[in-house]
Chains A and B, each alone.
Chain A
Amino acid sequence: MNNYPFTSVSRRFSIAFVGVVTLVLLVFAIMAIILDSAKVNADLEKQLDNALKLSSVSLPTPLWNLDNTVVDDFVGALFLHQAIVYAEVVWGNQLISRKIDDRFSQEGVEHFSDSAQFIDKSTDILFEGNKVGSIRLVMSRESVKHKFFLNLIRVLSLTALIIFSISITSLFITRKYIAGPLSRLQESASSIAHGNLDTPIDKASNDEIGQLAMHLDEMRESIKNLFVEVNKSKEKIEEYSRTLEQKVDDRTQELAQSVEELKALGEVSQVVGSSLDLDKVLGSIVRHAVMFSEADCGIMFRYDEEEQVFISRMDYGASREFVEALRKTRPQKGDQSAMGQAALTGELVQIADLHKVPDYPLKCVIDEGFRALLAVPLLREDKLFGGLVVQRRQAGMFPERGVNLLQTFAAQSLIAIRNAGLFKEIEEKGRQLARADKHKSEFLANMSHELRTPLNAILGYTELILDRIYGEVPEQIDDVLKRLEKNGRHLLSLINDVLDLSKIEAGRFKLSLNDYSMVELIQTVSASVEALVAEKKLTMKLILAEDLPIGKGDDQRLAQVLLNLLGNAIKFTEEGEILVEAEVTNQSFQVSVSDTGAGISEEDLTIVFKEFQQVDGSSTKTKGGTGLGLSISKKIIEMHGGRIWLTSEIGNGSTFTFSLPIRVEQQRGG
């Protein structure tokens, strides 16, 4: 709202109206007074003229007759006119009569020269045409003034009266016809502004205000209707928001419930997945089943196939007595108990009120005060494992979620039971495996020993004969004995390889790490095969970098690798050269054995390192060897943290290279 001081319309109107009227009246009054006073002045002058005329008629004779007394009387008579204040009759220079009003006697004749206050006129007095004297009359304008003021007061009083009457009237009129209705309108508007839309606006007058009132009332009506509409919409919105809130509440609750269910399922799943302790798992399942079906007690039954009865396996919320009673009277497949029926039908069975079931077979359930029951069988592939029952003291159906969850829990129980069974099986298998493994390693150790003993005799005797310990030997027998010895040694290498590989597989292949000289190692191994090289009329060349450092590793095993590579090179080369090279690259020994043999095709490059594989199946027979050597060599190099590879080309020989960390402090893998 604005802050202009409030001034009523009627007052404004009255002020304006009265102001205008006052102004007009005053103008008229003043004009009237002025006109009137002019007329009074004129009258006064006329009276003076009349007095002078009268004097000029009355005085010649006395003057002529020098009758001063008559003159004096006449002058005195003139003073009867109140306005005349001075009279003087002169004859020649002689003053005949003179009279002055008492009020002015002291002030002197000069005083009358003020024309504003006085009218001063003279006339000659003629007798028969001769001047016999003159008369001077002074008239005071005081009476005029007096009359003027009187008039003024009269006019002003009248004006004031009129103004007063008009004011009252106008006030009344404006009150009645403008301010009143306006005030009522204002009240109505204010009432509307304050929200009261029900009181109709009085629109009795048929003028502009009436029309304004009418419009205002129309406005009120439309606002009222609008309000009704708005209220309706508001109610609708409120209704919507209420339903929305309800819905959100419901959803939140549902969600919370779902989350809890998921959490429970998660917990159960976790227990099922992580624990192989069947009691713990089933305990968790029964507890959750009771919680989510809003039951008081839950029993997990194991099914005894022979007797076709359910035996309590796990319980939650059940009293000792009840569990004891359940052991005595067991639910039986096909009986009228919830469990019995669930077992029979393979479906979930719900009993909303036990009191309505005549002759329920398990009296202990009723005695314990349970009214509602929910039973679900634990079935897998038509095999009955048991059942899950939840019981509630209050009659009525179980919540749908609980029912659904119970079936999930039943499925979880089955998994748990199966897991536990599997675990037992696995444990048993593991034990068997461990036993078998122990047997295997014992067997290998024994085999190794047992095979070596007779082999020792064969090789020992053969060597003694060949060394002529027992005397001369015919050449033919000597040749045969050499073959015998060669085969004996081959058999020994087979035994060694198989033993090594078994040890590798069993993870019992241990490196014994020592300092060693790569140069010495290569030289020693090369020396040991010199005879073989010479025998096949091949040449062997060593190219060893100078200053090869002292290495750390299992030198015996590394010698085995080198021997294997050299053995292979010699074995598969018919003519040409065997080249052994060694250098240090990237802080690793890089040792290669090259031959000028038949070479290996690209697709066979990786096969050679696999167990019991030789490139040409026939070569095993002609060349001997198990095909285990390279596989063992690869494992040995890898256990040193190195790697071995083969480059070859058919017809251009093969090169086996291994890269080996110079100092191996720890064995890799197994």
Chain B
Amino acid sequence: MSRSILVIEDQEDNRRILRDLLTSRGYNIIEATDGLAGVESAGVHRPDLILMDIQLPGIDGYEATRRIKADPDLNDIPIIAVTSYALSGDDQKAFTAGCDDYVAKPFSPRKLLVKIEHYLAQRKTGGNG
């Protein structure tokens, strides 16, 4: 049974890089291109992990994170912010919004994969199927 990862990202290339990276590792990818769709998709699919862009059409990544984390059914899903907001304080904002981790663009797919696997392994040992 493959793990599912929700990618909320409006930019086609970035979505594709993540999709290519993660599918090559056998993950099931769910994609959303704006904040609201992302929140809705999280509720529907209950993914094992969410990769969240911050600058999104409609509600931004911070707001989407807050809403997902506000949902008791979803608040245990790890959310990794993947953003080009690399200015100082941006990481802090992401953590404040409820993100579990933060990766600045441009990211190294290799390093991101290490992070993803780390969180999924935690989830697995946490026994929450």
The answer to the question of B13 belonging to the interface, with a C-beta cut-off of 8 Å to chain A, is: yes
Within 8 A of A (CB), among B80-129: 84-89, 92, 104-110
Give Cα A458–Cα B14 distance, bound, in whole angstroms.
10
Q: Given the complex of chains A and B, what is the CA–CA distance between A463 and B24 in angstroms?
A: 13
Q: Give 1 or 0 for each of B5-35: 1 = CB within 8 Å of chain A CB.
A: 0000001011001001100100000000000
Q: Is the CB of A469 within 8 A of B24?
A: yes
State how many angstroms separate the Cβ of A613 from the closest Cβ of chain B. 25
Given A457-B14, A464-B17, A470-B20, A448 contacting B88 (CB threshold 8 A): no
- Please tell me if the beta carbons of A460 and B109 are within 8 angstroms of each other in the complex: yes
The reply to whether A469 and B20 contact each other, CB–CB distance below 8 Å, is yes
Q: Of A452, A470, A510, which one neighbours B106 at CB under 8 angstroms?
A: A452
Cβ–Cβ < 8 Å partners of A452 in chain B: 84, 86, 104-106
Nearest CB of B to A452, in Å: 4
Q: Does A492 contact B (CB under 8 A)?
A: yes
Q: Is the CB of A463 within 8 A of B108?
A: yes
Interface residues on A, range: 20 to 34
Within 8 Å of chain B (Cβ to Cβ): is A7? Answer: no
A449 contact set on B, CB distance < 8 A:
55, 84-85
Contact of A456 among B20, B89, B106, B110 (CB under 8 A): B106
Contacts of B17 in A (CB 8 A): 456-457, 460-461, 464
B59 CB → nearest A CB, Å: 18
A453 in the interface (beta carbon within 8 A): yes
Which residue in chain A gives the minimum CB-CB distance to B18? A460
Instruction: Write out the residue numbers on chain A whose beta carbons fall within 8 Å of the beta carbon of B106.
Output: 452, 455-456, 458-460, 488, 492
Are A460 and B88 closer than 8 Å at their CB atoms?
A: no
Min CB gap B34→A, angstroms: 16
Q: Which chain A residue has the least Cβ–Cβ distance from B107?
A: A456
Nearest chain-A residue to B105 (Cβ)?
A456
Please give, as numbers and ranges, the residues of chain A lying within 8 Å of B11 by CB-CB distance.
Answer: 453, 457
Kindly list the 3 A-B residue pairs having the minimum CB-CB distance in the complex, ordered from nearest: A456-B106, A457-B13, A452-B84
Contact status A445-B87, CB under 8 Å? yes
Known A464-B17, A464-B20: A459·B108 in contact at CB below 8 Å = yes
Q: Main SS of the interface on chain A?
A: helix
| Residue from A453, A464, A509 in contact with B14 in the complex, judged by beta carbons closer than 8 Å | A453
Contacts of B13 in A (CB 8 A): 453-454, 456-457, 460-461
Q: CB-CB contacts of A459-493 with B at 8 A, as 1s and 0s?
A: 11101100101100000000000000000100010
The reply to whether A510 and B88 form a contact with Cβ atoms under 8 Å apart is: yes
Question: Is the beta-carbon distance between B86 and A464 smaller than 8 angstroms?
Answer: no
Q: Give the CA-CA distance A510 to B24 in the complex, in Å.
A: 40
Q: Is the CB of B84 within 8 A of A453?
A: yes
Residues of chain B within 8 A (CB-CB) of A509 are 88
Q: Which residues of A contact B21 (CB under 8 A)?
A: 464, 469
Give Cα A503 to B110, complex, Å.
Answer: 30
In B52-97, the 8 Å CB interface with A consists of 55, 84-89, 92
19 more contacts with CB within 8 A, not counting A449-B85, A452-B104, A467-B110, are A448-B86, A449-B84, A450-B84, A455-B105, A457-B13, A460-B17, A460-B109, A463-B108, A463-B109, A464-B109, A469-B20, A469-B21, A469-B24, A470-B20, A488-B106, A496-B86, A499-B86, A503-B87, A512-B92
Inter-chain contacts of A448 with B (CB < 8 A): 84, 86-87
Distance in angstroms between the alpha carbons of A503 and B84 in the assembled complex: 17
Interface centre among B17, B21, B55 (most CB of A within 10 A): B17
Q: Is the interface of B mostly helix, strand, loop or mixed?
A: loop
Q: What's the Cα separation between A270 and B17 when bound, in Å?
A: 68
Q: Chain A interface (Cβ within 8 Å of chain B)?
A: 445, 448-450, 452-461, 463-464, 467, 469-470, 488, 492, 496, 499, 503, 509-510, 512
Q: List chain B residues, Cβ under 8 A from A460.
A: 13-14, 17, 106-107, 109
Q: In the assembly, what is the distance between CA of A492 and CA of B14, in Å?
A: 17
Partner among A463, A499, A512 whose Cβ is within 8 Å of the Cβ of B87: A499
Among B13, B14, B88, chain A packs the most CB atoms within 10 A around the CB of B88
A469–B92 alpha-carbon span in the complex (Å): 33
Q: Which residue of B lies closest to A465 (CB)?
A: B20
The interface residues of chain A lying within 8 Å CB-to-CB of B24 are 469
Closest B residue to A466 by beta carbon equals B110
**A499, B104: Cα distance in complex, Å:** 15
The smallest beta-carbon distance between A500 and chain B, in angstroms, is 9
Most buried by B among A455, A456, A510: A456
Cα-based distance from A534 to B20 in the complex (angstroms): 32
22 A-B contacts, Cβ less than 8 Å apart?
A448-B86, A452-B84, A452-B104, A452-B105, A453-B11, A453-B13, A453-B14, A453-B84, A455-B105, A457-B11, A457-B14, A457-B17, A460-B13, A463-B109, A464-B17, A464-B20, A464-B109, A469-B24, A492-B106, A496-B86, A503-B88, A510-B88
Q: Output the least CB separation between B14 and chain A (Å).
A: 6
- Specify the chain A residue showing the minimal Cβ separation from B104: A452
Q: Which residue of A lies closest to B113 (CB)?
A: A467
Contacts of B89 in A (CB 8 A): 510, 512
Cα–Cα distance between A461 and B14 once the two chains are bound (Å): 9
Knowing A448-B87, A470-B20, say if A453 contacts B105 (CB, 8 Å).
yes
Chain A residue contacts of B88, Cβ below 8 A: 503, 509-510, 512
Given A469-B20, A470-B20, A510-B89, A456:B108 Cβ within 8 A: no
With a cutoff of 8 Å between Cβ atoms, the chain B residues found around residue A470 in the complex are 20
What are the residues of chain B within 8 A of A464 when measuring CB–CB? 17, 20-21, 109
A486 CB to nearest chain B CB (Å): 13
Instruction: Tell me the complex Cα distance, A350–B20, Å.
Output: 94
| B108 partner residues in chain A, CB cutoff 8 A | 459, 463
Chain B nearest CB, measured from A519 CB (Å):
24
- Please measure, in the bound complex, the distance between the C-alpha atom of A453 and the C-alpha atom of B92, giving whole angstroms: 20
Report Cα–Cα, A449/B92, bound state, in Å: 17
Task: List the B residue with the shortest CB-CB distance to A460.
Answer: B17
**A456 and B13 alpha carbons, distance in the complex (Å):** 9
CB contacts (< 8 Å) of A453 on chain B: these are: 11, 13-14, 84, 105
Tell me whether A456 and B87 are in contact (CB under 8 A): no
CA A454 to CA B84, docked complex, whole Å: 10
CA distance A454 to B12 in the complex (A): 11
The verdict on A463 contacting B84 (CB below 8 Å), with A452-B105, A456-B105, A457-B17 known, is: no
A456 near B14 with CB under 8 A, answer yes
Determine the chain B residues whose CB is within 8 A of the CB of A467 once the complex forms: 109-110
Q: How far is the CA of A460 from the CA of B55 in the complex (A)?
A: 19
Closest to B24 in A: A469
For the complex formed, measure the closest distance between the CB of B110 and the CB atoms of chain A, giving whole angstroms.
Answer: 6
Closest chain-A Cβ to B101's Cβ sits at a distance in Å of 15
